[in-house]
Amino acid sequence: MESKFCDIVSNLFIAKLEKDFGFEGIERALFLANKIKSVYDVIDIRKFENIKIVTSLEKYRTINDKLIGTIYELNSSLELVTFSPSKSIFLEFTESGKIFFSEDDIDTESIKGLAIIYEKIGEYEYFHNKTDKDLLEPIAGIDSYFAPNTFKSLDEALEHYKTNVAKNTTCYILRGIWNDDNKIKIVDGSSEAIMRNSLCQFLRHRLRGLREVMPEQNVNERNPVDIKVFWNNTKHIAFIEIKWLGKSISNTTYSQRRALEGAKQLADYLDEYLQQNPNVVSNGYLVVFDARRRKIDSPISELTVEDVNFYRDKEIAYQPKYEEQRDDFAKPLRFFLNANLSN
């Protein structure tokens, strides 16, 4: 039987780079990876449909003179890249510190074999080898292999997940909650588990100082917690309870009452846990995925932007406000999930 490692290495982009370009290919890819990180530090990668970043295989040579398009040299600042209105950007970095930039959709076919070429098309990332390009296998919870965002605090991480993952459902796991591309109704059965898995993967890959992120099977209302987060070297533990609001394709409807119930369940659970584990510092987080839409049963063609965004800014009025009454209950988070009427 063939080893699983044979399969893995046959699809591994750095293995192909070494095969095509030798050890130098790996060295140049590492140089380029650091430059990609420096670019992703200063741009919103979701703003661009196509990003190409290259470096010549010959350390001190530039390669852009072999390309067609308007390419100009930047001073050492990437400010122009940050504020570029273009959907496509091209960058070349050289070992001597030169940076070349274009807002044209540059065709890099002519430099295949002469340069290490990284490309991001939509959410997919590639490294080009001599003849083809290799997809970097997408990993749930990360925007890019080279995106710098990691978080020291859970609050910071959840805020990032809200804005960059949940809002437009950019995580491929989370996409499983939708019945179709319009993102109006939630699928039945597994949706809460999907939300839990997506958030788990995100936290696992982004939180520093982490010991473990454990998805839980919430078997009953007395044990409602969906995710447990353990920290390294401390007795801190965070409990995340997930609820969703909106309507499923089989007409299960959850209104804000569901969020209020979730808050009560979590508070009760924290009380019980504290009694049993008085030496552990626990914190509860209620995370509400909000997919409510006005006139949700209307045909999609009749729904307006106002209908699907009706609840976007409607915060939930919790009563009681546990976060004001107790120190171990974080302010509940509401992740509004955008619909998409353009399909």
Partner 1 sequence: MKHFALFDVLYLGQNLETRIKDFSLNEIQILSYLGCLMSIYDGNNSSDWGYFFSKNNSGYPYSIELSNAMELLSNKKMIVQSSKNNEYFNTGATGIDFIDKLSNQLSIYSNRKQYLDVALNCITLAPFGVIRTALLNEPVLTSAKRKSSILLLEESDFATNLLYAQFQELRTALNNEFESLLIPAFTWLSGNLNHQIG
Residues that bind partner 1 (CB under 8 A): 3-6, 8-9, 11-15, 18-19, 22-23, 26, 29-30, 33-34, 37, 136-137, 139, 141-142, 145, 147-148, 150, 152, 204-212, 230, 232-233
H or E segment at 325? helix 322-325
In angstroms, give the least distance from the CB of 144 to partner 1.
9
Smaller CB separation from partner 1, 88 or 149: 149
C-beta closer to partner 1: residue 71 or 115: 115
Query: Of the two residues 33 and 300, which places its CB atom closer to partner 1 in the complex?
Result: 33
Can you state the angle between helices 13-21 and 23-40, rounded to 10 degrees?
130
* Min dist. Cβ of residue 280 to partner 1 (A): 13
Rounded to a whole number of angstroms, the minimum distance from the CB of residue 83 to partner 1 is 24
Contact indicator for 215, 276 with CB cutoff of 8 Å: no
**Is the CB of 163 or the CB of 232 nearer to partner 1?**
232
Residue nearer to partner 1 on the CB measure, 231 or 310: 231
Nearer to partner 1 by Cβ, of 9 and 42: the residue is: 9
User: How many whole angstroms separate alpha carbon 22 and alpha carbon 30?
Assistant: 13
Quick one: CA dihedral 66, 67, 68, 74, positive or negative?
negative
CB of 270 to partner 1, least distance (A): 22
Do strands 281-290 and 253-254 pair parallel, antiparallel, or not at all (unpaired)? unpaired
Shortest CB 16 distance to partner 1, Å: 10
At 119, list the tokens. Answer: 């490309």
| Least Å from the CB of residue 196 to partner 1 | 17
Chain position carrying tokens 């078997």: 219
Minimum CB–partner distance for residue 303 and partner 1 (Å) = 37
Give yes or no for a contact between 341 and 309, defined as CB atoms under 8 angstroms apart: no
CB-nearer residue toward partner 1: 37 or 98: 37
Residue that is written with structure tokens 């390309």 in the block = 67
Q: How far is CA 273 from CA 63, 283, 328, 331, 333, in A?
A: 62, 11, 12, 19, 22
d(C-alpha 261, C-alpha 248), whole Å: 19
Say if residues 182 and 294 touch (Cβ distance below 8 Å): no
Which residue from 280, 259, 258, 260 is spatially nearest to 270, judged by alpha carbons? 280
Residue 69 or 148 with smaller CB distance to partner 1: 148
Minimum gap (Å) between residue 154 Cβ and partner 1: 13
**CA within 13 Å, CB half, 128:** 23
**Which residue type does 154 have?**
L
Instruction: Give the separation between CA 253 and CA 258, rounded to whole angstroms.
Output: 9
Q: How far is the CB of 158 from partner 1 (least distance, A)?
A: 15
Residue closer to partner 1 (CB basis): 202 or 336: 202
> What are the φ/ψ torsions at residue 69 (nearest 5 degrees)?
140, 170
